[in-house]
Amino acid sequence: MNTLSVTGGRVLRGDLALEFSDVLIDVEKGVILEVGKSLRGDEEIDARGGLVIPGLVNAHTHIAMTLLRGYSDDKPLDKWLKEDIWPIESHLTPEDVYIGSQLALVELIKSGTTTFCDMYFHMSEVARATDTSGMRAVLGQGVVTVGKKKNDAYSDAEKGLEFAEEYNGFADGRIKTAFMPHSINTVDLEYFEEHIPRARAMGIPIHIHANETLEDVEKTIKLHGMRPIELAAECNILTSGDFAAHCVHVDSNEIDILASNGIGVVHCPASNMKLASGIAPIQKLQDAGVTIGLGTDGAASNNDLDLFGEMRDAAMVGKLSAKSASAVNATSVVSMATVGGAKILDIPAGRVEPGLVADLAVLGLEAAHLTPVRKCVDLLVYAAKGSDVVHTICDGKVLMKDKEILTLDESKIIATASACADDLNGRIGNKRVI
C-alpha cells in the first residue's frame, strides 16, 4: 500500500471540532485511513501551522464560462442571457470549452475546491479537462428545448442522456453524471415526461435551475397554473436525490416539498446578488431540514470560482435576509460548502474522517488577515480567501503542493485562455477592451 500523511495541522473534523492531528491516506484507494497522532505515510505533506479542511464542494457551476468572465456585467438575468451570454455561447467551439475548463480547474484547485458539479455543453471536453486535472466532478449536458425545431430539441435531450451514459464512472470513477434539463421554462414538458424516466432507469440524478427570478416563477404559473417546484414535484421532474440550483423565490409550500421529498438546494448567493435575482430564504430552508450546498454558478455571473468568497456571501446575505445576525451562521455555511454539497452530489466526501474519500485542502494561517487564530470555523467563513490554500489533495493524490499545481501547467493555461478569449472576441467582431 502506498500512503500519504498530512501531518501536524489543526484538522477540522466531521463535527466541525478542531484537533491537532495527522491524516493518513491510502493513495491507491484514494481514501482516508486514519486521523490521529503520530501517523506517518510513505510521503508526507507538512501541515504544521496550517488548517486541514475537507476539500470544498462547488455544487453548481458552468466552469467553461471562465472565458466569458467580465464579458457582460451589471445586467439582470434575462437581459444578460439574451443580449450577451447566449449570443456569445453560440460561437464557443469544443476547444474553447476545453480551454475555459482548464482555466477554471486551475482556479478551483488553487482555492481548495476538490469537487464541482457542472452543467454546460460540449461536456466531453469538460470531462477530458477534469480527468487530467485530478479533480472530482458530477457533469451533465445542459438540455434546452424551448424555441428549437422538434428534431433539434429531441436531439438535445438525447445528447443529455448519451453523455450521462458514456461518462458515468469516467476518470477512474472521479466523474459521475446527472441528467440536467436547464430549467422548467427552457425545456418542454414532453421531454421531461420522456427523458426523466429514462435517466432514472440509468440510476442518475436530475439537476435543474429553479425559481431563480420572480419572472421565472410567474412564467411557470402563467403556463402551468402552479409554481416551478410544485410542478416539478407533481410531474416527477424532481424527487429524492435530485437537486435544484438557486431556489431564490420559493414559498412555504415549495419549501415543504423540497424538505419532504429530499430534494437538495444549491445556494448561489454571489450570482443571485450580481444579477439582482433576489435572496434565497436559506435560514427557512435550513429550518425545514432541506439539504443545502453552495455553488458559485459560472464565472460570468460571479465573477470568480472561489468558494471562500461564496461562504462569506452566504453568511452575510443570509443574515440580511433573515434580519438576524445569528441566522445562517458560520457552522451552517461551512457545512454547505463541504458535507452539504457532498450529500447532494452523493459523494462520500465533505468530512475528514476514516473511510471517506481523501479530498483535503490545507490553508496557511500565518497571514495578517487570519491573525489571531480563534475559532477556525468563523475564520474560514469571515476572513479566509481561496489564496490562503497551500495544498490541495483529491482522491488521495496531491494536486497542489506549496501553491504549485502538479497536474496542470498553470502559466501555460492562463496564457492560452487569455489568447483564446481574444480570439473569441475577434470571431464575434468585438475589439479587445483594456
- Residues in contact with Zn ion by the rule CB under 5 A: 297
Grouping H, G, I as helix, E, B as strand and the rest as coil, residue 46 is strand
- Least distance to Zn ion from the beta carbon of 103, Å? 18
For residues 230 and 297, which CB has a smaller minimum distance to Zn ion in the complex? 297
At its nearest, how many Å lie between Zn ion and the CB of residue 245?
A: 5
User: Are the CB atoms for 96 and 424 separated by under 8 Å?
Assistant: yes
Q: Which amino acid is at 82?
A: K
Give the count of beta carbons closer than 10 Å to the beta carbon of residue 256. 16
Nearer to Zn ion, 255 or 268 (CB): 268
- Three-state DSSP at 152 gives helix
Closest distance between Zn ion and the C-beta of residue 191, in Å? 19
Nearer to Zn ion, 168 or 186 (CB): 186
Q: Name the residue with the smallest CB distance to Zn ion.
A: 297
Closest CA to 336 of 274, 237, 269: 269
Contact by Cβ (8 Å): 115, 342: yes
Q: How far is the CB of 221 from Zn ion (least distance, A)?
A: 22
Nearer CB in complex with Zn ion: 5/66: 66
- Cβ closest to Zn ion, residue 22 vs residue 297: 297
Burial of residue 404, with CB atoms counted within 10 A of its CB: 0-12 exposed, 13-18 middle, 19 or more buried: exposed
User: What are the E-state strand segments in 127-249?
Assistant: 136-143, 175-177, 180-181, 207-210, 243-246
* 73 versus 234: smaller Cβ distance to Zn ion: 73
Nearer to Zn ion, 120 or 352 (CB): 120
> What is the grid cell recorded at 41?
505515510
- Shortest distance (Å) from residue 35 CB to Zn ion: 35
Beta carbon nearer to Zn ion, 248 or 398: 248
CB of 195 to Zn ion, least distance (A): 20
Distance CA 283, CA 328 (A): 6
Least gap, CB of 119 to Zn ion (angstroms): 6
Q: How far is CA 317 from CA 250, 306, 313, in A?
A: 16, 17, 6
Question: Read out DSSP for 250-273?
Answer: --HHHHHHHHHTT-EEEE-HHHHH
Rounded CA separation 408/380 (Å): 26
Please name the residue that has the C-alpha cell 451562521: 329
CB of 136 to Zn ion, least distance (A): 19
Task: For residue 319, give Cα distances in angstroms to 265, 282, 314, 333, 383.
Answer: 18, 9, 9, 12, 17
